[in-house]
Amino acid sequence: MIDQDVSGTRGSGKTAMGQCYCGALQIRVMLPVSWVAHCHCSQCRHYHGAAFVSWFGVRHGSYWLNESAVVWFRSSDNAERGRCRDCGTPMLFRSQRWPDELHVALAVMRESVGRQPDMHVYYDDRVEWVPLQPTEPCHAALPAHDTGA
Ligand SMILES: [Zn+2]
Ligand SMILES: [Zn+2]
């Protein structure tokens, strides 16, 4: 359960909460989040069983998470993917490539993170069975960004 007040310590003072399918794994993030993007990489596609996965980034120290409900799976040499230990909802990603932030699946959020996805990443790896005509910029990878750390 969310039992820790993380509001008002930095950022806007606003927060947004999300949870897995069964509710055992809960997260609350401080707003604003660092970025929001649709990821078309094959690892996201397979792990989530979805055509693409929409993510946002949040700095370490700017979210509260009940870690005991998370099972971490090492999905590559430098990255781990986190899912609920009970229902298996995949919702977290962390990597040594972006050591200052946690990535959270946008679709598990119950409250708005206050901004829209504004780019497609790993766009070259997209499936051809979902026709897309994106108006947002499309990148071959996640562009360098300021994590605010
Ligand atoms: Zn769950
Ligand atoms: Zn991905």
14 Cα to the center of ligand 2, angstroms: 27
3 state DSSP class of 49: coil
Which pLDDT does position 56 carry in this prediction?
A: 98
Query: Percent of the chain scored above 70 by pLDDT?
Result: 90
- Per-domain residue ranges of the chain: 15-125
Sheet containing 53-59: give its strands across.
Answer: 70-76, 79-84, 90-95, 101-105, 53-59, 35-39, 120-121
**Contact in structure between 126 and 40 (CB atoms under 8 Å):** yes
Which ligand sits closest to the CA of 108?
Answer: 1
In sequence order, the 6+-apart residues with CB closer than 8 A to the CB of 24 are: 66, 69, 84, 85, 86, 87
Cα 62 to chain centroid, rounded = 13
Residue 142 Cα to ligand 2 midpoint, Å, equals: 9
d(CA 39, CA 64): 24
Does residue 81 register a pLDDT over 50?
yes
Q: Is the pLDDT of residue 132 over 80?
A: yes
Query: 113: pLDDT confidence band, cut at 50, 70 and 90?
Result: very high
- 6 has pLDDT over 70: no
For the cut 50, the answer to whether the pLDDT of residue 1 exceeds it is no
Average pLDDT in the 121-134 region? 96
Query: 24 C-alpha to center of ligand 1: Å?
Result: 5
The CA 92 to ligand 2 mean position distance, Å, reads 11
Helices (H), the chain: 42-48
Domain 15-125 CATH assignment equals 3.40.50.261: no
Compute the average pLDDT of residues 80-109: 97
Average pLDDT, the chain: 92
- Dump pLDDT digits (tens) for 10-66: 568 999 999 999 999 999 999 999 999 999 999 999 999 999 999 999 999 999 999
For residue 12, the model assigns a pLDDT of 80
pLDDT exceeds 60 at position 8? no
pLDDT of res. 144: 84
